[in-house]
Amino acid sequence: MPSTRRHRRAWTALALAVGAASAVAVTSTAPATSAAPGYAPAARATITPGVQMYTQGSQCTGNFVFTDAERRTYVGYSAHCAGLGEATDTNGCAARSLPLGTRVTFNRGGSLLSPGTRVGSGRLAYSSWLTMRQRSERNANACAYNDFALVRVARADVRKVNPSIPFWGGPTGIDRDGTRTGERVYSYGSSSLRGGVTLLSPKTGVSLGDAAADGGWSHPLYTLTPGVPGDSGSAFVDARGRAIGTLSTLGLAPLPASNNIGDLARELDYAKAHSGIKGLRLVKGTQRFDPLL
């Protein structure tokens, strides 16, 4: 896809370019609920959707929390975050990636000058890019848009996890009917380009509708502010708090400053079918979803 670039390593040329615009600057009033068994209360958790994830120096943003039949815990991010190619490599069936088992760290407060504070670690447990390449995937839309990976949280760090999206709450489930033009979407990005300014992390925007040519695998949208390098992998939910997708690419043309998200329902179904992880499922947030709008 020549019109897109992967949100890979933080680009110095874009440093703090998004600082001029602000996301919704209000505090959520959603009431807290009890944490899921084995997870930390949201107020004390340090590994949540929106956490910064570092893979051999490349920073991305965690999207949702997942579990399996063995009650193991995973945090999702983009498969290209563990990619070995250039930022313009967008074909997951051809791009090279780091192997399963690669160490990933969870950090807070990372910036261009510092990776921030390490709050936990995990290992790459699934990559759509590795899987599609190994399977010789022939679906062109899957190759272009199935950009999803899972990091298994280290056992000692599971107690630091909460599945709620900061600021917004949720997710409440999975959206399986795509997006409509003008439909409101919500996200939380943690790019190190923002220099640790979390005021700019919550984002809201609108869908540009689904392109039939993508086969439902991708959803273009605009947010204020747009997702930037380092936001890759971050969660997007609809007005009911349902998980729509994960941030994958930055559109350059014909829709400059737009973003494209991979469809989570399709990405997760693919992982269920081919990852070998039994009983893989999304964990709902313990905080009530509150769009505040």
pLDDT tens for each residue of 197-247? 788 899 999 999 887 778 999 999 998 877 788 999 999 999 999 999 999
Give the per-residue pLDDT at 28. Answer: 37
Q: What is the CATH number of the domain that holds 135?
A: 2.40.10.10
pLDDT at 8 over 90: no
Give the per-residue pLDDT at 15. Answer: 30
**194 domain-assigned:** no
pLDDT tens for each residue of 17-58? 333 233 333 333 333 344 556 899 999 999 999 999 999 999
Q: Tell which residue, 163, 146, 139, has the closest CA to residue 275.
A: 146
pLDDT at 61 over 90: yes
**55 domain-assigned:** yes
Contact (Cβ atoms closer than 8 angstroms) between residue 262 and residue 146: yes
Tell me the β-bridge partners of 106: 53, 120
Q: What is the dihedral of CA 233, 234, 239, 244, to 10 degrees?
A: 10
Tell me the β-bridge partners of 55: 58
Boundaries of domain holding 137: 35-164+266-282
pLDDT tens for each residue of 91-137? 999 999 999 999 999 999 999 889 999 999 999 999 999 999 999 99
**135 domain-assigned:** yes
**292 domain-assigned:** no
Give the per-residue pLDDT at 16. Answer: 27
List for the chain the helix, strand, coil content (%; round to 5): 15, 30, 55
Number of domains present in the structure of the chain:
1
Q: What is the dihedral of CA 141, 146, 67, 102, to 10 degrees?
A: 150
Output the furthest CA–CA distance in the chain (Å, rounded): 48
Across residues 78-97, what is the average pLDDT?
Answer: 90
**190 domain-assigned:** no
Mean pLDDT value across the chain: 85
**23 domain-assigned:** no
Give the per-residue pLDDT at 33. Answer: 42
